[in-house]
Amino acid sequence: MEYEFTLKFKLTADIAETDELIERLGEAGCDDAVVGIGQPGRIALNFTREAVSAKQAIISALANVKSAIPQVELIEVSPDLAGLTDIAELVGVSRQNMRKLALKYPLSFPAPVHEGSAALWRLAPVLKWLANRGDYSIAPSLLDVAHIAMQINLAKQANQLEQPVQQEVRELVA
């Protein structure tokens, strides 16, 4: 199956020039990605990768990038965090439709992970919620990629917790 996802990385100061970097990525197996280098000190790779699972696609892409550029730091795997507009676009409905669903079903619609002037949701729980309603056709590959992206991003964030805090918080947020 084909999986589409984006890997975003922070570069270090000693990274080679752009052409060499792209060549190294291609040689390492990232020839199925479009490389974006628009922001200084960052690189994004938009993959369309053939694999037996979303997990295999993303993990193999991460390994390919790390073998080409060992000193990069993963910022995030996407799609994961999304606003209602992003979710609506992926599902093929209007933003107003998504907002109406969130307001109409406040107890069952997944809670945002950030509320403010721009609320953000984890994409996987929202897609799963929509799929379970039966009214929306969610591509299995999109749901799988969103789920694995969320798992990797959460694991990366959990690694940043100090051990005493991690133990105390684990019991409180479960």
7 and 65 Cβ atoms separated by less than 8 Å? yes
36 and 45 Cβ atoms separated by less than 8 Å? yes
Contacts of 67 (CB under 8 A, 6+ apart): 28, 29
Is 80 exceeded by the pLDDT of residue 172? Answer: no
Q: Residue 131 class from Cβ within 10 Å (0-12 exposed, 13-18 middle, 19+ buried)?
A: middle
pLDDT for res 174 = 64
pLDDT digits (tens, 9 = 90+) for 101-139: 999 999 999 999 999 888 999 999 999 999 999 888 899
CA distance 44 to 6: 7
pLDDT for res 116 = 85
Mind giving me the DSSP string for 60-73?
HHHHHHHHH-TT-E
In the chain, pLDDT over 70 holds for what percent of residues?
Answer: 98
pLDDT digits (tens, 9 = 90+) for 39-53: 888 999 999 999 999
Using 50, 70 and 90 to split pLDDT, how confident is the model at 31? Answer: very high
CA angle 103, 104, 108 (to 5 degrees): 90
Using 50, 70 and 90 to split pLDDT, how confident is the model at 152? Answer: very high
Using 50, 70 and 90 to split pLDDT, how confident is the model at 153? Answer: very high
* CATH number among 1.20.120, 2.40.50, 1.10.3470, 1.10.1660, domain 81-138: 1.10.1660
pLDDT digits (tens, 9 = 90+) for 2-14: 999 999 999 887 6
10 Å Cβ neighbour count for 62?
17
Domain ranges of the chain: 2-78, 81-138
Using 50, 70 and 90 to split pLDDT, how confident is the model at 151? Answer: very high
* CATH number among 3.40.630.30, 3.90.550.10, 3.30.70.60, 3.30.70.3400, domain 2-78: 3.30.70.3400
